Amino acid sequence: MADLETPISLYDKLASGQPFSFLLESAEGGETMGRYSFIGFDPELTFSFRDGRGVITENGNSTPVAFTDPLEVSRRLLSRYRVASRPGLPRFQGGAVGYLGFDCVHYFEPVPVPGKAPGKAPGKAEPGKASSGRTGGRTSAAGDEDPRCDGELPEGYLMFSSRLVIFDHLRHRVILVDHVPLAGDRAAAYRGAIAQLSALIQEMKASRVERTLLFPEVPREREAPEIGGRNMSPEAYASAVEAAKEAIQSGEIFQVVLSQRFSVFESLPSFSIYRALRALNPSPYMFHLRLEDSAIVGASPEVLVRLDGGQVLVRPIAGTRRRGETSSEDVALEEDLLSDEKELAEHRMLVDLGRNDVGRVAKIGTISLERLLHIERYSHVMHIVSDVRGQVETGKDAFDVLRACFPAGTVSGAPKVRAMEIIAELEPTARGVYAGAVGYFDFTGNMDTCIAIRTLVVRPGRIDLQVGAGIVADSNPQAEYEECLRKAHACLAAIEVAKAMEASAR
């Protein structure tokens, strides 16, 4: 029994001081807590990479590796760990956990990284105008521009963990999982695993978390909390929107997602931010990834792609309204959203794109469209959602599935490749983690990833958040900018709550 414990207390006891760790949680539909939370730390192996070069660290030894496709390296590493699924245990029983940033797309498609497009004009445009080379995103108000991208972060980072602490919310119990290698002395390996799990049990019993998270009053008004820096000024973002509309009107694309980065210059514990975010914005995918001196914290509403028992799932989310102050206002906003032809057309286009992505790895005739155009509500916004499913083709695996669907059309555009080229022209910096994938590849061949939206990158002295809006032919630049602020509100509010929490603990 673990009715006196929570995933938060267990993570704080077991993993908070570790250089590598993760906590994965879920709130179904953004409202009801998922059954399981997963905690991992002290991975046997890590794989980080950037620009075709990576580092594999195992047992304290680091080995450089060069490659053309990081997923091929990941597949080779994961092939060391193959286990049979155990009945009675949750779907995830160990695997590779981490992220692949949006910029990994250059390994899979012939597109440049945002901010590095060939011929990108180096100068600044006047506010409200696109500069030569269609680089409207390069402008900023004085003091706002921050051209640094995520240069300190790898393009991708995976932790290979065979030991898990699983919190079962339904039965109020903790499940400890470890995997014993078959090579060598199996009996000795088994005894060693039992000893390590016994030590974990003693550690859980020996300490109790005393620190309480005291929430200040968080206003529901729609203005974003204070932003310390950004990679685009509002004028520059408007200029980029106009440039994107030109590309749409000329027939190059139908839609493109333009994003901007907000920064808060604070030093805060990433786990405090996570605790605040999970309370303010419970979501289907909630995660805290500790990666040495950086952390990825998020509460994403949207699956990128899932492979479970041979079934592929993508769930395009497109179309947004704020939450109402009352249930009746919620209903009115929902009806308004479902009658908005612009939002519906954009959503249907992205459903078609998702169907095409699934079709690249699914058996012919198995693709189905389910729950078309239904509404899901979250703490600050509501979205239109649809489900696309298919049966994976024989000979294809989780890495093939992710490659086929990466990145999601809901954070790139349509047609996808040309939209990504325009993103590279118009956005001034690499996207980094934003709009990439966060999740796991497990030892049984399954995979579950979300889109890295509503996601914060936490480093010493700096917290970054990136948000985007879908641009179509009749987009209003001011309205798209305000949509970005609405999407950013929960994450920025979580920073404010974490600041207040840290102040109260002093």
Q: What is the pLDDT of residues 371-380, one digit of tens each?
A: 999 999 887 7
Average pLDDT for 386-403? 97
- Per cent of the chain over pLDDT 90 is 66
- Tens-place pLDDT, residues 172-219: 899 999 988 877 788 888 898 899 889 888 888 876 655 555 566 655
- Helix ranges restricted to H, 79-208: 186-206
81 in catalytic set = no
Average pLDDT for 339-360? 93
Stronger pLDDT, 431 or 132, i.e. the higher one? 431
Does pLDDT of 224 surpass 60? no
Q: Which of 135, 410, 444, 449 is catalytic?
A: 410
Q: Which of 179, 347, 389, 454 is catalytic?
A: 454
* pLDDT value at residue 214: 59
360 in catalytic set = no
Average pLDDT for 453-471? 96
Q: Which of 11, 285, 434, 481 is catalytic?
A: 434
Across the chain, mean pLDDT equals 87
- Tens-place pLDDT, residues 491-506: 999 999 998 888 877 7
Three-class HEC string of 214-260: CCCCCCCCCCCCCCCEECCCHHHHHHHHHHHHHHHHCCCCCEEEEEE
* pLDDT value at residue 33: 62
* pLDDT value at residue 213: 52
By mean pLDDT, which of 6-10, 146-150, 263-267 is the weakest? 146-150
Average pLDDT for 469-482? 94
Cβ proximity of 426 and 240 under 8 Å: yes
- Tens-place pLDDT, residues 401-417: 999 999 999 999 999 99
Q: Between β-strands 255-264 and 462-471, what pairing exists: parallel, antiparallel or unpaired?
A: antiparallel
Q: Which of 347, 383, 389, 486 is catalytic?
A: 383
Does pLDDT of 281 surpass 60? yes
410 in catalytic set = yes
Does pLDDT of 1 surpass 90? no
Does pLDDT of 73 surpass 70? yes
- Residue type at position 6: T
383 in catalytic set = yes
* pLDDT value at residue 5: 84
Does pLDDT of 479 surpass 70? yes
Average pLDDT for 386-398? 97
Q: Which of 470, 481, 486, 489 is catalytic?
A: 470
| C-alpha–C-alpha distance, residues 338 and 344, integer Å | 7
pLDDT band for position 134 (50/70/90)? very low
Burial 252-263 (b: 16+ CB within 10 A, else e): ebbbbbbbbbbb
470 in catalytic set = yes
Does pLDDT of 142 surpass 70? no
pLDDT band for position 29 (50/70/90)? low
pLDDT band for position 133 (50/70/90)? very low
- Per cent of the chain over pLDDT 70 is 87
Q: Sign (positive/negative) of CA torsion 458, 462, 463, 467?
A: negative
* pLDDT value at residue 128: 32
**DSSP-derived 3-state class of residue 393:** coil
By mean pLDDT, which of 47-51, 142-146, 178-182, 346-350 is the weakest? 142-146
Does pLDDT of 251 surpass 60? yes
Cβ proximity of 39 and 274 under 8 Å: no
Burial 118-149 (b: 16+ CB within 10 A, else e): eebbeeebeeeebbebbbbbbbbeeebbbeeb
What φ, ψ does residue 478 adopt, rounded to 5°? -65, -40
By mean pLDDT, which of 340-354, 430-444, 453-467 is the weakest? 340-354
Structure token pair of residue 491: 């994450």
By mean pLDDT, which of 92-101, 177-186, 281-290 is the weakest? 177-186
Which residues lie across from 291 on neighbouring strands? 20, 294
Does pLDDT of 397 surpass 90? yes
The domain 7-505 is classified under which CATH number: 3.20.20.30, 3.30.420.590, 1.10.3720.10, 3.60.120.10?
3.60.120.10
